Amino acid sequence: MNEFITKRVSNVRNDVLSGITVALALVPEAVAFAFVAGVDPLVGLYAAFIVGLITSIFGGRPGMISGATGALAVVMVSLVSEGNALGDPGENLGLYYLFATVILMGVIQVLAGVLKLGKFVRLIPHPVMMGFVNGLAIVIFLSQLGMFKRTVAGEKVWLQGSQLFLMIGLVALTMLIMWGLPKIKKAKKLPEALIAILVVTGIAIFIKFDVATVGSFIRDGGGAGLKGGFPTLKLETFAKIPFTWDSIVFIFPYALILAAIGLIESLMTLNLIDDLTETRGNGNKECVAQGSANIVTGLFGGMGGCAMIGQSIINIKGGGRGRLSGVVAAVMLLLFILFGSSYIEQVPIAALVGVMFMVVIGTFAWSSFRIINKIPRADLFVLILVSALTVIFDLAIAVIAGVIFSALVFSWENATRIRARKRMKEDGTKIYEIWGPLFFGSISTFMEKFDVKNDPDSVEIDFVESRVADHSAVEAIFNLVEKYENAGKTIHLKHLSEECKVLLYKSSPKFYEVILEAIDDPRYHLAANPEEFTKGLFEK
């Protein structure tokens, strides 16, 4: 009992400390993504708070962090821009179109969860997953490079001289603390990211370094500051956006794309966290929670969001495994907005960049370099393709392209595996023993195996090592039967599994005449009814 209580207390401590670290890392990310989308920083911060809180409590993956993300922000840019063009100058109509789109996006995601579409994430091959994490690590790294710039006369220019060296030094110090702290035996359980941020912030304030801070970052982007109030219900959205067919036609494509990107990124992050923690999350539950969070976010003036792989890994590495860590991160973010803005604005950007660089190192699948010469070329191509498309376009396009290419490769490989072994029975009947799956990709090769003109008057096709998979296969068998019958020859099909026979019988009564039912062959009974065979074996 004491051990159980000790573990629970330890988990609470880890969740709280990890949640505080995540909250600090969320601030510049949410602000940056708000600037990318072309909206006020508080719109991004409110989204991080609301989405993070709701998904932490009701989501399908404890320990996973959600908030405003870059993958969604890049899509929102054109939405806000086009929305502004539909209204009068200064009306800021694009912002309200964004809120309406986020609400519709949430509805689509809830429907995806209710219809249990989250399970389809299982169809994503491992090379696509590796390409996803590698591409996302590169995207996170590239996004941090913008922090090495400063605004001069309204333009972003690279840091130079002492400012650049100071920035690099503080980033390196942050990374060194995060790397070295876990190696100290007595400091293993300390939250290295939080300590690194506090140490670097203390040094920068004490020595009065002239470095970019969270506050200067917000002001350089055109924001007034981090301070704000509680998010309020934006009922004016329904007054400003007319509920007409034209409005739906405008926002629906954006809502669909945002919903797809959000779900793909969240479900793949969920799978990644599952692997790291050796536990299993619930994809459908995450879809419903994320959709509900986005509906609430849209109603309260947030830009919407989804799972954040960088912050999720910070949380997991910091020991945050429970729902409490996400709740703490969201609540602390709100407290920063309400009361702690003046303190958070003093945190050097370099400290947060150092934390994110360590996330990049932890996210990238370095094992992919070791297996380059050990995996099929097609899988290697998929890995590289998904990584590149994630960087060039976005996650949704990359994953969809990777899955499609993998499916085509799988279909082609199975199409070439169809085999037909031929032999003669004592009564002169020719038997074709088919090996391999029969589906749309293999029917051409299947049809080439038969010699209708020169075959004897009696032919049997043995499917004991084959399966009829789709309508194309059914049509191919039907056409083959007709060719033999038109040539005046007898054809029978045997050793078909129960599922295959049902498929053929439903397609045409003709198959009742050619399929052999009464077969005394133990191979067939094992292949046709493996469940019954196994059940009988255990009963014995």
Q: What is the per-residue pLDDT for 518?
A: 62
Inter-CA distances, 61 with 52, 192, 275, 289, 312, Å: 12, 23, 12, 10, 10
Answer yes or no: is pLDDT of 508 > 50. yes
Nearest to 200 by CA among 349, 336, 340, 314: 349
> Residue 4 and residue 27: Cα distance in Å, rounded?
35
> Residue 292 and residue 244: Cα distance in Å, rounded?
24
Nearest to 132 by CA among 67, 51, 71: 71
b/e per residue 307-317 (b: at least 16 CB within 10 A): bbbbbbbbbbb
- State the residue for tokens 């503080």: 170
> For 39-89, where are the alpha helices, taking DSSP H only?
41-58, 70-86
> Residue 298 and residue 191: Cα distance in Å, rounded?
34
Q: What is the per-residue pLDDT for 529?
A: 52
Answer yes or no: is pLDDT of 351 > 70. yes
CB–CB of 97/358 below 8 Å? no
- State the residue for tokens 């360590």: 358
Residues found in the chain: 540
CB–CB of 30/304 below 8 Å? no
Nearby residues of 449 by Cβ (< 8 Å), 6 or more positions away: 418, 420, 432, 434
CB–CB of 510/481 below 8 Å? yes
Quick: pLDDT tens for 464-501.
888 898 999 999 999 999 999 999 999 999 988 888 99
> Residue 461 and residue 226: Cα distance in Å, rounded?
74
Inter-CA distances, 434 with 118, 447, 449, 490, Å: 36, 11, 9, 18
> Residue 152 and residue 146: Cα distance in Å, rounded?
14
Nearest to 304 by CA among 45, 23, 29: 45
Answer yes or no: is pLDDT of 524 > 70. no
> Residue 213 and residue 232: Cα distance in Å, rounded?
28
Quick: pLDDT tens for 25-74.
888 778 777 877 778 888 889 999 999 999 999 999 999 999 988 778 87
Tell me the whole-structure pTM to 2 decimals.
0.72
Answer yes or no: is pLDDT of 522 > 70. no
CA angle 388, 394, 396 (to 5 degrees): 110
CATH fold of 416-539 reads Transcription Regulator spoIIAA (3.30.750)
Q: How confident is the model at residue 9 (pLDDT cuts 50, 70, 90)?
A: low
Q: Mean pLDDT check: name the lowest of 160-164, 283-287, 390-394.
A: 390-394
Radius of gyration, alpha carbons of the chain: 30
Q: When comparing pLDDT for 397 and 15, which is higher?
A: 15
Answer yes or no: is pLDDT of 126 > 60. yes
Structure tokens belonging to residue 326: 């996400």
Quick: pLDDT tens for 274-293.
888 888 889 899 999 999 99
Tell me the percentage of the chain whose pLDDT exceeds 90: 34
Mean pLDDT value across the chain: 85
Q: How confident is the model at residue 361 (pLDDT cuts 50, 70, 90)?
A: confident
Q: What is the mean pLDDT of residues 342-355?
A: 86
Q: What is the per-residue pLDDT for 540?
A: 40
Inter-CA distances, 21 with 347, 385, 509, Å: 12, 34, 68
Indicate the residue type of 176: L
Quick: pLDDT tens for 190-220.
778 888 888 999 999 999 998 988 888 777 7
Nearby residues of 64 by Cβ (< 8 Å), 6 or more positions away: 55, 266, 269, 270, 273, 281, 286, 307, 312, 315, 326
Query: What interhelical angle do 377-392 and 395-415 show, nearest 10?
Result: 160
Quick: pLDDT tens for 215-273.
887 777 666 667 778 888 888 888 888 888 888 999 999 999 899 888 888 888 888 88
Answer yes or no: is pLDDT of 2 > 50. no
Q: What is the per-residue pLDDT for 171?
A: 94
Per-domain boundaries in the chain? 2-373, 416-539
Q: Mean pLDDT check: name the lowest of 133-137, 186-190, 303-307.
A: 186-190
> Residue 330 and residue 71: Cα distance in Å, rounded?
20
Q: How confident is the model at residue 434 (pLDDT cuts 50, 70, 90)?
A: very high
Structure tokens belonging to residue 152: 């001069």
Q: What is the per-residue pLDDT for 277?
A: 82
Tell me the percentage of the chain whose pLDDT exceeds 70: 93
Q: What is the per-residue pLDDT for 313?
A: 86
